Structure 1
């Protein structure tokens, strides 16, 4: 069996070498898919543009491995004019497959070709932010916006700035081609850093690029919720749900807003739109505990347990926590 594996690996290597021999400058280090020799029987592309067009056609038809291969082929042409675009496409394919190592590699190579590729900078910001490297993510998002400002002829650089004010953000220029997700990402980071005014300035720019974005509207609503402006929080969250009624995050946020306003029945109704009644009751109890209202949480947790008593462990745990907090509060009053 071991010998068979060696033969198989050797044959695969020979097949790759044979394919590569047709295109001696082809670098397959960015390829990660089914065997290349199974992808296409066509003659190799004659120009960079032809390879990119083949990649676009394959991608639109759902043949992702072939698209990846064609974009890699486009990189083999000397003095290519669209290398950063091809590397961006390669990165997006790997990112969609959650192969972040190859995605990151492709994006960094794209920046070597064009340091001001807004889309590449935006995706790098997203990758690093989601991986918990907030500072690096923020840096890439700022570079994306800075590159966009260069497009508008704005000479004031954002790169290297530690702080931006909400007034400075409001003065930035944007249009439909501007990096919406970079603005939104910086808004989320500002909210995490509890600078809600700055966050809302970034979100406003994102909405100027796409006013119908349910995701941005949801984030704006949550930002106002965290800053205690429940009226605006409710308005933006309801607008997000108008755009996308199935937005679970917006539904959860709307329920939290109703709880903060003391409108518990409405919160239960909202939770019940995308979960069963016992889970909705448990959620109400849990968030009331977080809001420092354990005595109000108790009856809802008891209802959750009564509805699902045989196996609803989490509600029992939350009820024990709520009762302990109530007892602690009573003791402190003595």
Structure 2
């Protein structure tokens, strides 16, 4: 893996140093410090006293059990404890440490753990996929694509890799390519609500409203509480001119004022100015909380109406 940044060079150097002198460090009692930057929140003493282990494997099994039980603190401790017992760093537990930090929003720590795992085992699919997804979240699209493309091209590629590449393709306006990635993600993981939502939104962007509606309905059927999918389904209904159904979809959480404001904004963007004004007025009537937002939208719309002679924009 080529990397010219100082942080990546330092990480590579650290990994090389670890592989050469981990056993000496362990004998000198400093091996535990090597993983200190990945953090265990000072819980080592309590967990170590209550749950003694005889091997790294036992610590990793404890970590898996803790993750299944939803105890991320214990899991993080166990993975780090297992690593400290090893003669040299191991890719998979470092990847697990990265997953925990990623889930907590500690992106820098997660990225360090993923990159370290990949320095040790460049072909580690989990670490490569997770790093690609993290880079996508950080809007480093080229970096994400660089990590994810070879993984997606391999055999039995994880659905997360195709899903992330689909999102990147949509961002670039390559909706046909995006759809292909989402379809491959669904082949690997049928019925996944996240992928169904992304496929539906991709089809919406491409102007395939029936296809978008089909995928988004499947997403909310798989997860009736998926608010983003409901909102995207509302966008489709609004684009089709079925405003009442659009309002019902967007207002699933009960906030009808927000729904009217959102559908009004969509209508304004699409040039249906008279319709949009009615939605903004209804949002202001329903909730004082939306008065400022909706009234600002209405003022902007009023200037558009004057510019267009008070009519909707021609299709």
Report the TM-score range of the alignment, normalised by the length of the smaller protein. 0.7 to 0.9
CA-CA distance at 1:44 after TM superposition = 5.8
- Report what 1:190 is aligned to: 169
- Report what 2:277 is aligned to: 298
CA-CA distance at 1:256 after TM superposition = 0.8
Q: Which runs of 5+ in 1 are unaligned?
A: 1-19, 153-173
- Report what 1:66 is aligned to: 74
Deviations 1:40-61 (CA, angstroms, capped at 9, x unpaired): 2168643331221232233334
- Report what 1:163 is aligned to: none
CA radius of gyration, larger in: 1
Deviations 1:158-204 (CA, angstroms, capped at 9, x unpaired): xxxxxxxxxxxxxxxx4xxx311110000011011011000000001
- Report what 2:222 is aligned to: 243
Task: Count residues with an aligned counterpart.
Answer: 285
Take 1:77 and 1:185, find their aligned partners in 2: how far apart are those partners? 35
Secondary structure, aligned partner of 1:316: helix
- Report what 1:101 is aligned to: 108
Match of 2:146 among 118, 139, 148: 139
Q: Which runs of 5+ in 2 are unaligned?
A: 1-25
CA-CA distance at 1:225 after TM superposition = 0.6
The answer as to whether partners of 1:281 and 1:300 remain within 8 angstroms in 2 is: yes
Secondary structure, aligned partner of 1:272: helix
Structure with more contact order per residue of length (Cα contacts < 8 Å, sep ≥ 6): 2
Deviations 1:302-326 (CA, angstroms, capped at 9, x unpaired): 2222223586111111111111101
Matches within 5 A, 1:1-334: 24-26=30-32, 27=34, 28-41=36-49, 45-78=53-86, 83-146=90-153, 149=154, 152=155, 174=156, 178-309=157-288, 312-330=291-309
Take 1:274 and 1:40, find their aligned partners in 2: how far apart are those partners? 45
Take 1:60 and 1:35, find their aligned partners in 2: how far apart are those partners? 19
Higher relative helix content = 2
Take 2:180 and 2:243, find their aligned partners in 1: how far apart are those partners? 31
Bigger mean CA deviation after superposition, 23-32 or 83-92: 23-32
The answer as to whether partners of 1:39 and 1:65 remain within 8 angstroms in 2 is: no
